[in-house]
A and B are shown apart, each in its own frame.
Chain A
Amino acid sequence: MSPRRDAALGLTRRKFLACCSALAAAGAGCASLAPDMRSAYALIVDPPLADYERIIRALIGTVLPLEVPAFPVTGQQVEARLLRLFRLERDPRFLLLQRSFVLFDQTDLFPHFAPLTKEEKDEGRRTRDEGEAHDRDLYARFAGHGAPARFTALPLDRQREYFDLWRQSRFLLRREFHATARSLAMVSAYSMPEVWAVIGYAGPLLPGHGGGRS
């Protein structure tokens, strides 16, 4: 998000939150805070790129086969392209996504925090309970291996396992996050000519347009 200036305080909104919020001072990942408080923090904070860039970087490595020698680009190259294509810091539509990155990173919040869509709320208690039980069970199987608190601290295979929980969730917003994060990484990587060569895609026919504008 672009910082919005609060004229009365002479502060950007981001700085204002940083000044007044003890939670912000404590940091989103502080495991000593109760899960509900950390979830609440993640819902109100407007995280700067520096806070979620490392999460994006880890997600790129989770979605894409960076460890496969034949994959022709690095995570840094994909990240640079992602940040150029998707103006995460400038486009207000991405604010919720930024917050979701912060929530996603704290793996132990998965069973505690399940925002519901209006329709899910309307579905009735029994359906919600079943969904929550399903997701808790997913998480229990994952955490049975002894999960640390941060996605970014997990080894790659465990990161993929955790990311896949979000795909398997019964709740729409979790699946939406999975689909969005996956799409950001894939669209960024598979729009790169270096990757086209490996998959047998010849790209544009137009002379002089190989580089495109993007």
Chain B
Amino acid sequence: MTRVTCDVLVIGSGAAGGVLAATLGETGKRVVLLEKGGHYTKDFFSQREWDATVLYAGRGARYTVDGDIVVRGGECVGGGTTVNYALAMDPVEAVWAGWRRSRGLTGFSFDPSESDYGVAGLNMAACLSEVRARINVHTPGDEEVNDNNRVLERGLRARGLSSKRFSLNMRGCIGCGFCAEGCAYDRKQSTMVTYVPDAVARGVQLVHHCEVEALTFERRSGALVVSGAHARVRPTRKGSQPNSVEPGVLDIRATLVLVCCGSVESPTLLQRSGHPDPHDQIGRGLILHPALPILGVMPGPTTNYRGVSGTVYSDHFYESHGFYYECLFGHPAFGSVVLPGSGPDHFELIRKYNHMAGFGVMLIDNPAATNRVVWHRPTGERRITYHLADGDKARLRIAAKTGVEIMFAAGAEEVLLASQEPLGSLPSPRFRSASDASAVEHLRFEPYHTAISSAHCQATVKMGADEATSVVNARGESHHVRNLMVCDSSVFPASCGVNPMLSVMTMARYQGRRIAGEWARYDA
């Protein structure tokens, strides 16, 4: 058994944990950073889809209980930032302002002149600016927009809909098209190549291949206080960087514990640790941002998988209907599964691979208490129960129908939804003209028929002032266990309204600076 004592234990090295470890490393505190997955770097990334599955939770096959939705999440040093498409959308100030009002949250000022909690210069605007600078968030130039993204831009324009360019956290991207397989050139500015190395350079100890079995609690003067964590370090997998401790049991004592494992792992860690939950709130109200791909067969060759994957999106329907169109494309091993059919019909379709264009609908879903992540003790599984609400289905149908029309307006000869469902008189969602698009109203989103995916889990350890409807307060501190904080997308009270990476990183920078300014609060 290895025993470690530290001031701050950070669990999870993704968008939140990486930033927190680096920020707290600046203070000279003894910080330990744990990561469940391996530490894979550019030398490991082979641009092969199958090789990259090791970077994902459940090897990329983590599903909701009924198999309806694949829930992707990074499980490696850098977490989701290692395997995402570097889409760096600013936090939506109006959403955070709404949370402050509706949830009684303090802090999170977007006014750059504010000093929240009395910490000099602490506000979201300053933290966002610092994060954007560190991960080189910028808007790509015209020369970085590939054919696939131009298809979406063209279709939107033809339909009179607005389009925008993503901001990206890249530096000198060469456009290989393998963002989701890990950047083999270190051009994507994930926390794996930015904040985690910063943290290690400041003396933070990184332990990967490390699964925290439970947080440890003790009573002090009648209050429940976190004292550390009990973890197990697995042997280092081939291809990973070496570890800082030997495989086996790892017991860590810490003054402050920060849980930053994401919206599936954070609630289940609290649950299996026996964290008090008098109002049955942990894991409830899961947000997924369900995504549905729309594919078009274009008349000529279309650069789709090569180039910067995502440069164009549309928020035209964000205010009115709560969804985005976002441009992305996949590689054929997993892309083949998304295309409908089998046998020769499927082959005929996939032979048009380099004539295809694709974008996705990303729905801002509404929280429902029955959508929940649960640690299932008998099997040791994380169970994700999620059902699309009728209202969300209705909005997805509108988004899909309009998406089909956009694809035809861009010049597609045929448009497909990633579904095997018959739609009224259509045997499958393959459309020959825009006038067929109305058949989308028959789409039922049946599990194992329609390929809905999620990469944006949120809102399972909600923050709020009211203990009856939340688990942590605005500082991310547990309502029930002292010196235990949660800081990741799970603390969002609802959808953050955009691809969440930059919202999470900004919040983590904010909380890191706040902790440094308020250290006496924890060290008493």
Decide if A68 touches B48 in the complex (CB within 8 Å). Answer: no
Max chain B Cβ within 10 angstroms of own Cβ: one of A175, A176, A191, A195? A191
Decide if A204 is an interface residue (CB 8 Å cutoff): yes
Decide if B67 touches A191 in the complex (CB within 8 Å). Answer: no
Decide if A205 touches B176 in the complex (CB within 8 Å). Answer: yes
Decide if B353 touches A200 in the complex (CB within 8 Å). Answer: yes
Decide if A187 is an interface residue (CB 8 Å cutoff): yes
Contacts of A71 in B (CB 8 A): 347
Decide if A187 touches B353 in the complex (CB within 8 Å). Answer: no
Give the Cβ gap from A109 to chain B, nearest Cβ, in Å: 20
Decide if A65 touches B344 in the complex (CB within 8 Å). Answer: yes
Decide if A167 is an interface residue (CB 8 Å cutoff): yes
Contacts of B335 in A (CB 8 A): 190
Give the Cβ gap from A200 to chain B, nearest Cβ, in Å: 4
Decide if B67 touches A196 in the complex (CB within 8 Å). Answer: no
Contact of A163 with B332 at beta-carbon distance under 8 Å, contacts A119-B66, A209-B48, A212-B50 already known: no
Contacts of B333 in A (CB 8 A): 186-187, 190-191
Decide if B243 is an interface residue (CB 8 Å cutoff): no
Decide if B448 touches A175 in the complex (CB within 8 Å). Answer: yes
Contacts of B420 in A (CB 8 A): 167
Interface string of A182-194 (1 = CB under 8 A from B): 1100110111000
| CA–CA, A187 and B338, complex, Å | 11
Contacts of B178 in A (CB 8 A): 204-205
Decide if A196 touches B332 in the complex (CB within 8 Å). Answer: yes
Decide if B306 touches A183 in the complex (CB within 8 Å). Answer: no
Q: Interface size (A, Cβ < 8 Å)? A: 42
Decide if B351 touches A191 in the complex (CB within 8 Å). Answer: no
Partner of B51, one of A65, A182, A198, A213: A213
Q: Which residue of B lies closest to A66 (CB)?
A: B343
Which residues in chain B, 319-373, are within 8 Å of chain A measured between CB atoms? 331-337, 342-344, 346-347, 350-351, 353-354
Q: Which residue of A lies closest to B342 (CB)?
A: A63
| CA–CA, A196 and B351, complex, Å | 9
Contacts of A63 in B (CB 8 A): 342-343
Decide if B448 touches A178 in the complex (CB within 8 Å). Answer: yes
Contacts of B347 in A (CB 8 A): 64-65, 68, 70-71
Contacts of A201 in B (CB 8 A): 305, 331-332, 353-354
Contacts of A163 in B (CB 8 A): 342
Decide if B351 touches A200 in the complex (CB within 8 Å). Answer: yes
Chain B residues near A (Cβ < 8 Å):
46-51, 66-67, 174, 176, 178, 184, 239, 301, 305-306, 331-337, 342-344, 346-347, 350-351, 353-354, 420, 446-449
Sampled A-B contacts (28; CB under 8 Å): A62-B343, A64-B342, A68-B347, A85-B50, A119-B66, A172-B447, A175-B447, A175-B448, A179-B448, A186-B337, A187-B50, A187-B333, A187-B334, A190-B350, A196-B332, A199-B332, A204-B46, A204-B176, A205-B176, A206-B176, A209-B46, A209-B47, A209-B184, A212-B48, A213-B46, A213-B48, A214-B48, A214-B51
Chain A residues near B (Cβ < 8 Å):
62-65, 67-68, 70-71, 85, 117, 119, 160, 163-164, 167, 172, 175-176, 178-179, 182-183, 186-187, 189-191, 195-196, 198-206, 209, 212-214
